[in-house]
Structure 1
Amino acid sequence: MIFRCSKCDICSIIPASDSIDEAYLEFLDRIESGGGVKAKDLRWLMEQEKIIRSKKDIDRILSDNKVSDPLIDQVLRSDQDYIVDFRILQEPQPDYGDPVGRLPVDEAIVSVIASKGIDRLYKFQQEAVKAVLKGADLVITAPTASGKTEAFCIPVIQKIKERSENGVRAIFVYPTKSLSRDQAPKIKEFADPLGIKVAIVDGDIDEEERKRILDFPPEIIVTNFDVIHYHMLHRTRFAGLLRTARFLVVDEAHVYTGVFGANVFHIISRLERLAGKLQIIAASATLPNAAEFCERLFGRKMQLLAGRGRRGDLNLSIIFPSLRSSRSLAIDLVKKSTKNEHRTLAFSNSHLGSELLAFYAARQGVSIKVHRAGLTAASRNEVEQLFKSGKLAAISSTPTLELGVDIGDVDTVVSDIVPINRLVQRIGRAARRGQQGYAFLVLGNDPISQYYKAHPDDYLSDHEFVYTDPDNPIVKEYQVLAMACDRPIAMAESKDIWQAVQSLVARGLLILSGSRFIPDFKKAGQVLNNYSIRGIGSNVHIKLGNRLVGERSVPQAIEELHKDAIYFLSGKRYRVKELFFDQKSGRQAYANLEQIPSDYPYYTKALTDEWPSVTEIHERKKVLGIETAYCSLRILKRVLGYSNMEIGHDITQGKKTMFDSTIEYEFDTKGFVFRAPQPSDAVASADDGDYVATSGFHASEHVIIEGSAMITGGASHDVGGISLGSSGLIFVYDSSAGGNGASRILYDRLEKVFGRALSILSECPCSSESGCPRCTYSYRCGNNNEYLHRISAIEVMKRVAAGQDCQIGDMHGDRAIV
């Protein structure tokens, strides 16, 4: 905050505070003690405090990079933001292979390649062709639009041609229907000249096309895992076609993380039970643990092949919004970009973020629409087509558009903060056709951004690790039941799934008949018909009047769709008139929406608490001096009320409304627990030592989870955290029922996470006792960012770093703070 005295013309910069009165009092103290500068020297002070860059710095950056671009010049000369870094990303020229005529493939395939003006494949494409032809199970990693499709398509089609067998030979799997339909024509380009038929199978094909596929099976099916799961489960004619498959191609493999990935692991096992062993070829974005992840996902050893493609130069700017919110900066970047006639794609990391950005950008005259999960497929397709045709200037998207759907040329990408490899995936959208591209990474008012502002080089080396947990016991039970519906389970094949089989027998879902386990089809159908392989548990149906307008998965739904919650949908705001949710009833949960005035000034944030109980300890280890245990947990989550948050104000605390009765949800998951050292010095000097200790542990829990995102990638967004009062016990758990693998990523890297947490706390310039959004506050805090104490948390983390010995001991606390 900048304060200026109108009488004496003295200015001072005060760290942001939720209390304007506290900030003003600090300003007065500075004035009385001789601090502050004359208004004419304010820019100099802002430069010294790293609130903005000096004009000299900006001139040097532009000169060093030989930039004379009007958009870059406007953005870098901002007097509200600090330019953390600017560089031109010049993709190294890819290595090329031999002339295409030397490829060991049919002449018709060579002709297709040549017709595209290509006389040599990239070297990674050539190596992929040879590896697949030799029968390797392969993972291909490369950036967006670098030629991965050709790398797996050419050799699979060649092997189908060589064998000349009837029936379905290859299954090409994509994570979304829109991506399947986008990629199928590219596959057909290579297949058609060889007389190899390609067909899309999803829920949108008509009856005539379905009958044609069943009567005259194509050699290549393009589909998704939802369709495969459904047809095997219901033993349809289409499932019978899959028996002849020999190749499974999985594009965008990095999408299959967490619970979705656990389901995919079992679906592939069921598919191989039907068809026999498949040769698996996977394609993925560039990842640091691609081989390890794919080996876990597919349950076998995978050969890794990394490649790169061509694109135009990208102007990358990393920007910290010093005197405005990150959303205001992102909207301004979208506005400036579209005014310069640049086709713009803005990525937000959350559903609400994408809706708010579009809501405010549209108010400022930007032609923009939202593209996110939870909207109907027709709505998303309409947005894609409008943008591709040039009728829409910008899209505000969640990660849905990180995938390779062709939406036409993109000049500019504006992105919330994500790990560098996710950013590369996003900005791969820009300059895909060789034109000059622009990428703006918008830092925020949060611990991670504060750290990267001070350590920008660390941003470029911190990579995302993807994860899944095929051993999720809840997923395994559902999938073993589905497996029995596919075909009864012989006693001889039940060894690795025995625990799940026994549980299903006890529930009356499986019956031992001779030496086989067969399902009770009526009961199994009731359990499996509403099961989603993309998550666990129920969804809440969202209704407007009598019309179903969307759905939201639990537990997120009970936080976003409680009574009187303000819910964003397609750029408009609604109030939740009613929520029906009863976990024990088995009835479909739903939320009814009602419209609100366009000028309604608030949105809402749920107030929650959570109670953990350890059901089993799997592993213990020492991290520095801290005993840590990886375990199975049961979490009771309750929504207690909500805070009204004023739109347009980047505050993290709001007026609270408490419910008469809570909304409750209980689930089993995995996570880890440790006991942090007591902040003895801070406690000894405090009037209320219990409050200081409790608040220090809560702040430590926040910064450990928020800061870990830098080291683990997005894993922190799939975990929750609980600190138990003044006990020092801190729990970190997978937010998905049964577990998703995210907490394990943190557990394995905990020493580095502890170190980063201490840096965030120590380096923050704020002077508030509780800290601020750049160190201790969390936008996900269920306690309205109360019970936080920065000095106490610094002492806790310093004691951890010094190796103070701490045993977990008795796992009880007097209160749970999330």
Structure 2
Amino acid sequence: MAPPAGWADLLAGEELAHLAAEPARTGRSEQLPADLSPLVAAALALRGIDGLYAQQAEAWRAARRGASFIVTTGTASGKSLAFTLPLLDAVARDPKARTLCLYPTKALAQDQARSLLELRLPGLKAAIYDGDTEVERRRQVRTWANVILTNPDMLHVGILPHHDRWADLLHNLRYVVVDEAHVYRGVFGSHVGNVLRRLRRLARAYGADPQFLLASATIANPGELALALTGMSVTVVDTDTSAKAEREIALWNPALLDPELGTRTSALAEASLLMAALVSRGLRTICFAKSRKAAELIHRFTAERVGPATAARLAPYRAGYTPQQRRAIERRLVAGELLGVSATDALELGIDIGQLDCAISVGFPGTVASLRQQWGRAGRRGKGLAILVASEDALDQFFMRDPEALLSRRVEAARLDHANPRILDPHVAAAAFEGPIAAADAATLGEEALTRAAQHPELEPTRAGYVWKGRDHPAGRFSLRSGDAASFTIVEAETGSVLGLVERARAYSSVHEGAIYLHLGEQYLVLSLDHDARVATVAPARVDWYTQVKKDTRTAIEATLRGAEGAGVELHFGRVSVTEQVVAYQRKAIADGSTLEVAPLLLPEVSFETEAVWFCPGEDMLEGIAEMPRLLGALHAAEHALITLLPLWAMCDRWDIGGLSTNAHFQTGLPTVFVYDGHAGGVGIAERGFDCFAGWVADSARLLAGCPCGAGCPSCVQSPKCGNLNDMLDKGVALTLLERMAART
């Protein structure tokens, strides 16, 4: 079916940086398996499903032979049916068989529950168990449902510590579904890896050994991710024979206003212009924004540019709405009542939102995998259009100048480290509360957990194993979203509501007194920071400035774990300790980045151990640039460029990474550049940088070479998180250094 109208005339402006096309693909399917329950086959037939794509059939065969699997294919390729088919067959054959389904968002769990119930399979009793489940209904879910849909946070605090209430589930647990597995990376993924190990341990204690059925967006290391999450080797299913419509891809760069400052017209305004033009042609469009404020602004700007009848068919979708409001928007999308929706990444995941023609991404979402998830929403009823509207961010501008660096790039690898002691220790305590930790538990919790249990101050050895000495349940002490138990709570002054948590290592940089704190795109002014109570009190603010801290940073090498000669430099990976102290902060104008005020601020030192990659360029690399201050400017600018580009190689955000450059490090005695994990203990980001160092350096050199500015700007070497307030940056000399390194790869 062709879309209602074309868009060719929209893509003719000077803002169009690149236009490409992805060809259509004809789907290939095979018959439903002969050993599938007739009841399931009949239920599928009523939904018009009479065959399986190769990936669905391969997943079915893996499940039938008792294997766990991860299916990693593109958007709209039928991953949900791949993991749903085994659990439906189990229910049809044995209504007592239980399945636990984990989803990263409540919205996705709601959507999947709706899809399951629409099958009307006899004996299927699917129910959601999360923080929104009424107290009086929770007992019914525990005793009645054979497919329970929840999230890792609820499993962590609501199910595992109270496993005696869930004995029937654990005893009959056949399958554990982990949907959108690529979301579980970094700190969050490291926590979830421990939660799943605790689940496996308790299931074994109740006599079950469930298979794990994982589904993920396309990533570079699906088998490695599944092993890190579950502690089990799994079958990787990555063949994709699903049908795919042709898709046109446009990279859209807002007009450059000042080449030296790198300022451009508003990406939000550009996105709303495009969206207004598309929906006015009857094209169903979704626009992804990075914050709820941006989503609301795009909606408002778009509605102002179209007629009342079209405006009534537009809606924003973001966190902060009630579940009923979000469900209503989802229903209107599926039914085709809405022409356009501006959304945060809440709609990026596999929620069924019907057939869309166009998808607009405002700013690179952080990973190629996420971008392809967003673009995959377009073109489900015919030829689709996917647009990336660039911001002034350095990575966005890199893609505008070098489109193939984006379009031909493999998706990133997802990294996590469940054995990071700062993350593992609280889970060891939680596991000890759930049951004594004994030698046999190494098979599920891992050998590291037994080592940490023996050293844990709140556990005591008994004949049965290590047990919890406290009176509370330790799972309630920590969040899965933080790597530091000593987090600061951010509280809204007037209402007393908790907005979120920030790790102690980041608190002094982001929620110091006088800071502007951004929460879901909204501005808050930090009124006070209580160091003893670890509470930051904030109030809503509407200001045209932001804050940036100046920090003194020291890095000490604790252990070198790996070394190599790479890109003409001495390259190392290992453990380092980082000590930071905030000594001042700036108020900077949003409009042009100019400094409005510098305020002195002396906060306590914060030290943490993490992982880092570092290198020491030799004399040949520094020929002609070894004099101060050129040397320090080159190293500092190169460090910024490397930090900007590392998210292309590891699934992380620039804010997950720190760095330090020095003309003479006290341990190496040489000019040294460090790039380290910003999370205590590290979660694998720096090691990924070590493994892909040659490509990482080459990308960084191209970033600097392609930027049209002369001295450096936010589109290349200036960083919004620089502890030195972007002082001592020499773009030209940094480019010389990186190009010399790239030439030696």
For this structure pair, what is the TM-score category when the shorter chain's length is used for normalisation? Answer: 0.7 to 0.9
Aligned to 1:565: 515
Aligned to 2:156: 229
- Check the 8 A contact 2:524/2:538 in 1, yes or no: no
Q: How does 1:118-129 map to 2 (within 5 A)?
A: 118-129=49-60
Query: Could you tell me how far 1:484 is from its partner in structure 2?
Result: 0.9
Q: Deviations over 1:396-449 (max 9, x none)?
A: 5443332122345544322122544332211122233x1543211123434444
Aligned to 2:146: 219
Structure 1 counterpart SS, 2:585: strand
Structure 2 residue 376 is the aligned partner of structure 1 residue 428: yes
- Check the 8 A contact 1:715/1:745 in 2, yes or no: no
Q: How does 1:112-511 map to 2 (within 5 A)?
A: 112-162=43-93, 164=94, 166=96, 169-190=98-119, 192-214=120-142, 216-230=143-157, 231-238=159-166, 241-276=169-204, 277-306=209-238, 307-310=240-243, 312-324=245-257, 328-341=266-279, 342-349=283-290, 351=291, 355-356=293-294, 358-359=296-297, 362=300, 365-366=303-304, 375-376=319-320, 378-379=321-322, 382-383=325-326, 385-386=328-329, 388-389=331-332, 395-415=341-361, 416-417=363-364, 418-432=366-380, 434-462=381-409, 463-491=411-439, 493=441, 501=450, 506=455, 508-511=457-460
- Check the 8 A contact 1:142/1:308 in 2, yes or no: no
Q: Which amino acid letter does the alignment assign opposite residue 629 of structure 1?
A: H
Q: Deviations over 1:501-540 (max 9, x none)?
A: 5655555301112352111123x64x54230122222252
Q: Which amino acid letter does the alignment assign opposite residue 511 of structure 1?
A: E
The structure with the larger Rg is 1
Q: 1:412 to 1:663 in 2, by over 3 A?
A: farther
Q: How does 1:690-769 map to 2 (within 5 A)?
A: 690-714=628-652, 716-725=654-663, 727=665, 728-768=671-711
Query: Could you tell me how far 1:301 is from its partner in structure 2?
Result: 2.0
The 1-side partners of 2:421 and 2:428 are apart by: 10
Aligned to 2:468: 519
The 1-side partners of 2:732 and 2:482 are apart by: 39
Structure 1 counterpart SS, 2:60: helix
Q: 1:571 to 1:719 in 2, by over 3 A?
A: closer
Q: Deviations over 1:749-794 (max 9, x none)?
A: 01121222223333434332xx233332223323322210022212
Structure 1 counterpart SS, 2:700: helix
Q: Which amino acid letter does the alignment assign opposite residue 172 of structure 1?
A: C
The 2-side partners of 1:108 and 1:161 are apart by: 7
Query: Could you tell me how far 1:312 is from its partner in structure 2?
Result: 4.3
Structure 2 counterpart SS, 1:457: helix
Q: 1:382 to 1:556 in 2, by over 3 A?
A: farther
The 2-side partners of 1:255 and 1:265 are apart by: 12
Query: Could you tell me how far 1:69 is from its partner in structure 2?
Result: 5.6
Aligned to 1:795: 736
Q: Deviations over 1:109-142 (max 9, x none)?
A: 1112111223322232222222212222111122
Structure 2 counterpart SS, 1:193: coil
Q: 1:662 to 1:761 in 2, by over 3 A?
A: same
Q: 1:478 to 1:134 in 2, by over 3 A?
A: same
From 655, 658, 667, the counterpart of 2:608: 667
Q: 1:392 to 1:639 in 2, by over 3 A?
A: farther
Q: 1:520 to 1:298 in 2, by over 3 A?
A: same
Mean Cα deviation higher: 114-123 or 634-643: 634-643
Structure 1 counterpart SS, 2:629: helix
The 2-side partners of 1:380 and 1:724 are apart by: 51
- Check the 8 A contact 2:527/2:536 in 1, yes or no: no
Q: Which amino acid letter does the alignment assign opposite residue 726 of structure 2?
A: N
Q: Which amino acid letter does the alignment assign opposite residue 154 of structure 2?
A: V
The 2-side partners of 1:410 and 1:558 are apart by: 44
Q: 1:602 to 1:396 in 2, by over 3 A?
A: farther
The 1-side partners of 2:741 and 2:560 are apart by: 22
Structure 2: gaps spanning 5 or more residues: 258-262, 305-310, 666-670
Q: Deviations over 1:657-700 (max 9, x none)?
A: 2233226543322222222346755447xxxx422111110001
Q: TM-score with structure 2 length normalisation?
A: 0.86
Query: Could you tell me how far 1:253 is from its partner in structure 2?
Result: 0.8
Aligned to 1:14: none
Query: Could you tell me how far 1:569 is from its partner in structure 2?
Result: 5.0
The 1-side partners of 2:395 and 2:540 are apart by: 37
- Check the 8 A contact 2:27/2:244 in 1, yes or no: no
Greater RCO (Cα-Cα under 8 Å, separation 6 or more)? 2
- Check the 8 A contact 1:291/1:304 in 2, yes or no: yes
Query: Could you tell me how far 1:570 is from its partner in structure 2?
Result: 6.2
The 2-side partners of 1:595 and 1:407 are apart by: 34
- Check the 8 A contact 2:646/2:689 in 1, yes or no: yes
- Check the 8 A contact 1:427/1:439 in 2, yes or no: yes
Query: Could you tell me how far 1:296 is from its partner in structure 2?
Result: 2.5
Aligned to 1:589: 535
Structure 2 counterpart SS, 1:635: strand
Q: Deviations over 1:593-649 (max 9, x none)?
A: 1444xxx432333444433222332222221332222222222333333333333x3
Q: 1:68 to 1:182 in 2, by over 3 A?
A: closer
Mean Cα deviation higher: 658-667 or 289-298: 658-667
Aligned to 2:724: 783
Structure 1 counterpart SS, 2:121: helix
Q: How does 1:540-555 map to 2 (within 5 A)?
A: 540-548=489-497, 550-554=499-503, 555=505
Mean Cα deviation higher: 621-630 or 326-335: 326-335
What is the percentage of aligned positions where both structures have the same residue?
Answer: 27
Q: TM-score with structure 1 length normalisation?
A: 0.79
Q: Which amino acid letter does the alignment assign opposite residue 781 of structure 1?
A: C
The 1-side partners of 2:660 and 2:639 are apart by: 7
Aligned to 1:9: none
Q: 1:560 to 1:150 in 2, by over 3 A?
A: same
- Check the 8 A contact 1:676/1:697 in 2, yes or no: no
Structure 2 counterpart SS, 1:690: coil
The 2-side partners of 1:790 and 1:188 are apart by: 58
Q: Which amino acid letter does the alignment assign opposite residue 230 of structure 2?
A: F
Structure 2 residue 543 is the aligned partner of structure 1 residue 614: no
Q: 1:542 to 1:409 in 2, by over 3 A?
A: farther
